[in-house]
Structure 1
């Protein structure tokens, strides 16, 4: 686009400088204005930008984020809730399973010690990451699925061990037996919405489960990922470890330095079989019984929203 040379309008009165001076002055004004400024813009005040986010694993028993924090992005998770009464047979059974597991893996943590109202979560989505404008959209989708889906009864079948996709934690879990088909129907109903907001859908061959215990996974002898092109869950089956078993003494743990936490290289091969032998009958029998699935939940950041299953 053609630029106008004259940047200032000059008077034509007789008291003005000669015409040649006007042209020369206008030229220098133009050249000076066209030069790029060498001055740097001032740094924004912290009151405008906000504090820089810093992850602190010490606040989360050594756990770290699977994905770095991004301003304006919210981690989310869709799941079915299984409330636990502390006086129920199921809750007491889970405490016994964890206590037995800790004799072999001392760094095993449970999920309910700090919760006044403990509950188990059966995942219906992978961890997903939302922008601010997507939060209400996915809430509406989960509500619509809940409105169209009837409540159902489910039960747990056995204890298993699993690890997360990032291979930072290893879990002790209860796998779902009865109710698997109904959970699969729920995840299928959520798939169109997840695709629409460019999030990964649930796994093609899911293993629905509730995690009851976890330990940090790592150390120089950490197990290698299985040779598989298709993960069957957000966690991976570890029933046949490739390395030597972890023992109950210090050799099963990495030695922590300051600001670090004990990490296991794997669970002992006998851990799951031993727990199933001790508690399997109670888990599928009259002690644990079946449980009712009556609501869907979504956690976005720290906010949890719940909807009742209302389908006929």
Structure 2
């Protein structure tokens, strides 16, 4: 059986011709596309009135990139906080503010009644007449710890430890009727307070329980031989001597000869609170 084969040279020639046509077609289309693309880009540039010769050509990956807003650039920048004592009645911060540090203390709250607020107005008015600019306290409580610093991730363990420690502490009653003068550790403020008489022993035992939690976090425990009190008012600076010698007798006389009889402050100690930063945790005491 005979089979007819075409010449190999003719096949190669035909194949070369076809490839050349294809290559020419592809090259022509590519060049045409490039020319069209360049023409389109130039027209786009010229339509905005830009100088084509001076136009900077950006890399492809940067052409669609948008600028980062300033608000995002400054979002995580550390703020420099400057404390201005003039904005806080002359009060000075006990320790420097740092991000992530939470000022924390434990206390027994007291909600004032009308009789207490009237007496407070009389006390501050008398103190000012004696040349002592006494300011009202912003809130009323019995402090059961010093102000300590907690890191944010310590807050929940600290609160839980307190809750466990206070589980068996029973509620009790406190009474106060004698004034006393106090100052903070830095001697930047002086206070007039009502000193607790009845309930002092229970408060002492309570601070021992709280100190155990504070020691777990290696923080400063409460004062030795504390004088538990409710602050009525404060003034800037160390005015301890002036208040004790010139003001305290007259202020105490005001309480002793009150129109309804000697004033006595009564506090039902049925709830403890822990304030850390702007958070307040409550610990109800069982009966």
User: What TM-score comes out, normalization by structure 1 length?
Assistant: 0.64
Aligned twin of 2:80: 52
Aligned twin of 2:97: 69
Among 207, 218, 221, the residue aligned to 1:198: 218
1: CA distance, partners of 2:168 / 2:258:
34
2: CA distance, partners of 1:138 / 1:194:
8
Equivalent residue runs for 1:71-110 within 5 Å: 71-85=99-113, 87=114, 89-110=115-136
**Structure 1 unaligned blocks of 5 or more:** 1-43, 113-118, 224-237, 242-265
2: CA distance, partners of 1:127 / 1:173:
18
Task: Indicate if the aligned counterparts of 1:145 and 1:190 stay in contact, CA closer than 8 A.
Answer: yes
1: CA distance, partners of 2:137 / 2:164:
29
RMSD: 2.4
Q: Which moved more, 1:50-59 or 1:196-205?
A: 50-59
Task: Give the drift of 1:79.
Answer: 0.5
Q: What whole-Å deviation, never above 9, does each CA across 1:75-101 have from its counterpart, x for those lacking one?
A: 11111001112x2x2332222222211
1: CA distance, partners of 2:196 / 2:260:
10
Task: Indicate if the aligned counterparts of 1:141 and 1:190 stay in contact, CA closer than 8 A.
Answer: no
Task: Give the drift of 1:102.
Answer: 1.8
Aligned twin of 1:185: 205
Task: Indicate if the aligned counterparts of 2:174 and 2:198 stay in contact, CA closer than 8 A.
Answer: yes
Aligned twin of 2:196: 176
**Does the residue aligned with 1:147 lie in a helix, a strand or coil?**
coil
Query: Is residue 274 from structure 1 mapped to residue 250 from structure 2 by the alignment?
Result: yes
Task: Indicate if the aligned counterparts of 2:142 and 2:228 stay in contact, CA closer than 8 A.
Answer: yes
> Rg larger in 1 or in 2?
2
Task: Indicate if the aligned counterparts of 1:74 and 1:300 stay in contact, CA closer than 8 A.
Answer: yes
Task: Give the drift of 1:199.
Answer: 0.6
Task: Give the drift of 1:286.
Answer: 6.4
Among 233, 254, 257, the residue aligned to 1:213: 233
Task: Give the drift of 1:59.
Answer: 2.4
Aligned twin of 1:305: 281
Task: Give the drift of 1:173.
Answer: 0.9
Equivalent residue runs for 1:1-312 within 5 Å: 45-85=73-113, 87=114, 89-112=115-138, 119-217=139-237, 238=240, 241=241, 266-267=242-243, 269-280=245-256, 282=258, 287-310=263-286, 312=287
Task: Give the drift of 1:278.
Answer: 2.2
Task: Indicate if the aligned counterparts of 2:255 and 2:262 stay in contact, CA closer than 8 A.
Answer: no
Task: Indicate if the aligned counterparts of 1:149 and 1:309 stay in contact, CA closer than 8 A.
Answer: yes
Q: Which moved more, 1:44-53 or 1:157-166?
A: 44-53
**Does the residue aligned with 1:201 lie in a helix, a strand or coil?**
coil
Task: Indicate if the aligned counterparts of 2:177 and 2:264 stay in contact, CA closer than 8 A.
Answer: no
**Structure 2 unaligned blocks of 5 or more:** 1-71
More helix by share: 2
Structure 1 residues 283, 50: closer, same or farther in 2, change over 3 A?
farther
